[in-house]
Structure 1
Amino acid sequence: MRFLSILPLCLSLLATLPRPLESLEPLTMGAIGFGALGLGTYFKEHTYCRFAECCDDRSIPADTYALAASLSHHLFGQHIVAQHVVPAIKAHVGRHSSSRKPLVMSFHGQPGTGKNFVADLIAQALFLEGSKSGYVAKYLGQADFPQAERVGEYKARINREVRQQLRSCPRSLFIFDEVDKMPSGVFDTLTSLVDYNAFADGTDNTKAIFIFLSNTAGSHIADHLGNLMRGGKLREDTRLSDFEPLLKKAAYNLDGGLKKTTLIEAHVIDHYIPFLPMEKAHVVKCLEAEFRRWHRDPNAAIIDEILSSSISYDRTHGLFAISGCKTLEKKVAMAIN
C-alpha cells in the first residue's frame, strides 16, 4: 500500500527527466548521423569493396601508363591514335582534372584498323575488371538499335540507361559500336547528357567517358591518306589536323547514328580520331603478334601464304589491306592447329 502511495510521485519525476535523444541538440544529432555515414563508408571500403567491384580507385585504377604501354606494344600503324587518345584520357581522369563535361571521342576507320581493339584496351586500363566491369556499358548498332521506325524508343532507352549508369558510377565508360549501322537521330537525347550540365537530380556526368566507333568515312580516310602519300608526305608525318575536319563533315552527312545529329551541331564531341588503313607491313606485324598470342614463333612460310591467299588491297592506291587485321586471328588459328 505504501508503494502505491508514492507511485504517482515517481511517475511525475520521470516525466521531467530528458529523453536520451530528445535532449541532444540538432548539431549533436547531425554529428551522430555523419558519424554513422562515415562508419558505413569505411566499412564498405574496407570489407565489401575489397572483394567486389565498387565505384572507387581500387576498381577503377585508371592506369593511363598501362594504356600507353599497351598501345605501344600491340597497336600497329596508328600513330595518330597513340598521340591523342592517351593524353586525352590522362587529362580527363587525372587526379588534378577539373573537367566540366564528359570526355567524348569518335573513332573512325575501315574494319580491321583497331577501333574495337583500342576501346577494349581503354576499358582494360581504366577498370580492374576491364570490359567485363559493371561500369562499362557497350551498345551494338545492329543488335541494340536495328529499326529506324523505333528511333524514339531507342532515344528514350539511351537517356534512361545512361542516367542510371551515371547514378551508379559517375566514372562509367560508354562504348557505342557500329554507329554507322544505327538509325539517324538515335543520339539526339544524349547531347544534353554529354554537354556542360548540372542535373537537377544530382547526377554527375563530368567524370564519364563516351566513345563512338564507326566505319563511316573509312574510305575517305584511305583516299585522303593515299593522296597525301602520293604527294610526298610520309604516313608517319600525317597529323590529326589532316583528317579531323574530313571526319566531322562525313559523320554529319553520311548515313548512320551521327547523321545530322545534335551531338555534332552542339560541338560536344571532343576528338574525332582517324584509324588509318593498314599497309602490308602492318598486316605482317598483326600476324606475328597472333603467333605470339598462341605462344608460337612467327612462321614466315605461313605468313607468306596468308598474305598471298587472303589479303586484298584497295583498287585506287593498291596500298591498303581492305579487311585490315580483322580476319587474321582465325587464319593463324587454322594454320597452326
Structure 2
Amino acid sequence: MFLELSMSLCVLLILPAESFEPFSMTAVGLGLAGTAVYFKNQTYCRFYECCDDRSIPGDVQALRSSLESTLIGQHIVAQHVVPALTAHFSSQRTSRKPLVISFHGQPGTGKNFVAEQIAQALYLEGSRSGYVAKYLGQADFPQEERLGEYKERINREVRQQLNNCPRSLFIFDEVDKMPSGVFDTLASLVDYNAFADGTDNTKAIFIFISNTGGVHIADHLGQLMLGGKLREDTRLSDFEPLLKKAAYNTHGGLKKTALIDSHVIDHFIPFLPMEKTHVIKCLEAEFGRWKKTPDKSIIDDILKDSISFDSKHGLFAISGCKTLEKKVAMALN
C-alpha cells in the first residue's frame, strides 16, 4: 500500500500542471490532501500525539470507575461530573458551546484530584498532553496591575490552543488568587457559537478550580446536618445558588465576571468538607499507596497530632486530606 501511494505521488509530481484540466486539478488537490491525512494517521499519529480519537479517547467510563473506587466523601461530584462529560461527548456534533465547570470547596476536598482524573481519562497522555492547558493563579497571574496583559494572554493562548486542537481541556487552578476581571475576555470565547473566524470552541472543556465558597459550603452543610438531613442526601441544588453568589461577590478571578453574568458556566460543583471518617479513609488510601496496612494507633496519632476541625460545627477537617501524604510518609520513616 505504501509503495503504491508513493508511486502515485511521484507520477503526480512529475506531470506538468498544464496536463490537467481545472476540475482535474481540484480533484487531484483533494486527493493529495486526503493522501496526506492518510499518511499522517498511519504513520506520525500512530506514535505521537495528535488531535484524534487515539490520543483523545474520552474514556468517561474509565473516569466513572476511577472515581467510584478512589473519590472519598464527594457524592455530589460523582453524581454530576461524569454525566456532564458524558453528555458533552455524546453531543459534540450538535453542541453550540464548550463544557464549562467550576469546582468549589475548601482545601483538601479533592478538586485537583478530580481534575487530574478527568485529564487522565480523556487524554492518552493525561495531564502531560499537549492538549491540556493548565494555569495556576499565583504563578501565572500574580499581579493586579498586569490585568490587561493577563486578559490578552488568555485570549491569545486559548485561541491558539483551540486552533491546534478543538478538543482541548483548559484547567484554571487557584481562581480565587487571580485578579478580578482576568476572565473578561474569556467569557466571549466560551459562549454560544463564539467564533466568527471558523475556530471551533464547541468541543473544548473548561474547568475552574477555586477555594471560593468553601466556607459557605461547610456552613450550609453543617446547618443542614444539624437540621437532621444526612450528608449523603444533600443535592447540587442545596449548594449551587450560594456558590454562584459567593463566586460573584468574593475577591478573585470570578468576581463580577461576565462568565457568571452571561450564564456560560454550566455547572457549579460543590466539594463538601471532609469529616473524620473521610480523613481516615484518606489515610488508609495513602498507606495503601505504600502497600502498608496501618495500625489503628498510627491513624489515631496522626488524627490527634495533625488534624484540626472547624470551631463552629466541630465536624469538618480544616485542611481536609491535603497534608496527609507527608504525614503518612513521616509515619513510615
Q: TM-score range by the shorter chain?
A: over 0.9
**How far apart in 2 are the matches of 1:300 and 1:64?**
36
1:173 to 169, 172, 182: 169
Kindly indicate whether the alpha-carbon contact (under 8 Å) linking 2:173 and 2:208 is maintained by their aligned counterparts in 1: yes
**How far apart in 1 are the matches of 2:305 and 2:35?**
65
| Residues 266-305 of structure 1: per-residue CA shift (max 9 Å, x gap) | 0000000000000000001100100111111233221111
- Residue 262 of structure 1 deviates from its aligned partner by 0.5
Alignment match, 2:31:
35
Alignment of 1:36-115 (within 5 A): 36-94=32-90, 98-115=94-111
**How far apart in 2 are the matches of 1:228 and 1:239?**
11
**How far apart in 2 are the matches of 1:137 and 1:197?**
21
| Residues 14-46 of structure 1: per-residue CA shift (max 9 Å, x gap) | xxxxx9532422221111111111111111111
The structure that has the greater radius of gyration is 1
Alignment match, 1:322:
318
SS in 1 for 2:320: coil
- After superposition, the Cα gap between the structure-2 partners of 1:95 and 1:223, relative to the gap in structure 1 and judged at 3 Å, is closer
Identity of aligned pairs, percent?
A: 78
- After superposition, the Cα gap between the structure-2 partners of 1:198 and 1:182, relative to the gap in structure 1 and judged at 3 Å, is closer
**How far apart in 2 are the matches of 1:312 and 1:46?**
56
| Residues 230-251 of structure 1: per-residue CA shift (max 9 Å, x gap) | 0010000000000000000000
The code of the aligned residue for 1:177 comes to D
Alignment match, 2:6:
none
- Residue 98 of structure 1 deviates from its aligned partner by 2.0
Normalised by the length of structure 2, the TM-score is: 0.94
- Residue 198 of structure 1 deviates from its aligned partner by 4.7
**How far apart in 2 are the matches of 1:284 and 1:168?**
44
The code of the aligned residue for 1:43 comes to F
Alignment match, 1:235:
231
- After superposition, the Cα gap between the structure-2 partners of 1:308 and 1:198, relative to the gap in structure 1 and judged at 3 Å, is closer
Alignment match, 1:248:
244
Task: Work out the number of aligned pairs and report it.
Answer: 319
The code of the aligned residue for 1:175 comes to I
- After superposition, the Cα gap between the structure-2 partners of 1:267 and 1:312, relative to the gap in structure 1 and judged at 3 Å, is same
Normalised by the length of structure 1, the TM-score is: 0.93
The code of the aligned residue for 2:149 comes to E
The code of the aligned residue for 2:152 comes to A
Unaligned runs of at least 5 residues, structure 1: 1-18
Matched, 1:126 2:102: no
Alignment match, 1:210:
206
The code of the aligned residue for 1:149 comes to E
Kindly indicate whether the alpha-carbon contact (under 8 Å) linking 2:111 and 2:271 is maintained by their aligned counterparts in 1: yes
**How far apart in 2 are the matches of 1:119 and 1:82?**
12
- After superposition, the Cα gap between the structure-2 partners of 1:96 and 1:168, relative to the gap in structure 1 and judged at 3 Å, is closer
SS in 2 for 1:56: coil
**How far apart in 2 are the matches of 1:68 and 1:299?**
31
- Residue 95 of structure 1 deviates from its aligned partner by 6.7
- After TM superposition, which residue ranges in structure 1, 4 or more long, deviate above 4 angstroms? none
Pairwise CA RMSD: 1.1
Alignment of 1:228-307 (within 5 A): 228-307=224-303
| Residues 108-141 of structure 1: per-residue CA shift (max 9 Å, x gap) | 0000000000000000000001000000000000
Kindly indicate whether the alpha-carbon contact (under 8 Å) linking 1:112 and 1:325 is maintained by their aligned counterparts in 2: yes
Alignment match, 1:13:
none
The code of the aligned residue for 1:273 comes to I
Kindly indicate whether the alpha-carbon contact (under 8 Å) linking 1:136 and 1:174 is maintained by their aligned counterparts in 2: yes
Kindly indicate whether the alpha-carbon contact (under 8 Å) linking 1:291 and 1:332 is maintained by their aligned counterparts in 2: yes
Kindly indicate whether the alpha-carbon contact (under 8 Å) linking 1:113 and 1:278 is maintained by their aligned counterparts in 2: yes
**How far apart in 2 are the matches of 1:133 and 1:167?**
16
Kindly indicate whether the alpha-carbon contact (under 8 Å) linking 1:240 and 1:273 is maintained by their aligned counterparts in 2: yes
**How far apart in 2 are the matches of 1:73 and 1:167?**
36
**How far apart in 1 are the matches of 2:113 and 2:84?**
17
The code of the aligned residue for 2:54 comes to R
SS in 1 for 2:281: helix
